Copies of this chain bind each other. A is one copy, B any other.
Amino acid sequence: MSEQIGTGEMERDSRLQLITQGEWAGWSMWRSDAFEQRAGPFYEKFEGGEGITAFRAGQEHMNGGGFMHGGCLMTFADSALFTIARPAMEGSFGVTMNLSGDFLDSARVGEFVEARGQITRAAKSIVFVRGLVTADDRPVLSFTGIIKKVGRR
């Protein structure tokens, strides 16, 4: 099954499970990543070619002070990095080379946490991305990342 991404099409990865009911109806969820399952799960969807990643903040995402753990936000940003970069990956796998985040504000239990961004440059073997994570539309993390393409699926 393929889906429209950017100006082209991409084969839907079988590890992506399309959710059809409940709060996440219309979103897809990755099932193969051990750490990400424990940290999230995180959901993604494409709107007009733009990759959006999201999850609902729960108690399990917080630190001792009742705010979202910085590592949770960075794990989410790492996931969002690949969703945003999808249109430029051209069927290749990728590894994160660099991930950097400015922590703007805290996210709290119950908030809708979402990441949107842009590919700032898609080179032959490197993809540069920047993005913003919001909690109930309030900016909480400003991030940049660099992905190195490694081989093809």
Binding site for B on A (CB under 8 A): 15, 30, 32-36, 38-39, 59-65, 67-72, 74-79, 93, 95-106, 120-121, 126, 128, 130, 132, 139, 142, 144, 146, 148
Contact = CB atoms under 8 A, between A and B. Distances in A.
Contacts of A142: 120-121, 128, 130, 144
B63 A36 contact: yes
Contacts of A95: 67, 103, 106
B121 A139 contact: yes
Given A71-B75, A128-B142, A101 B100 contact: yes
Given A33-B64, A74-B78, A102 B146 contact: yes
Contacts of A97: 102-103, 126, 146
Contacts of A67: 95
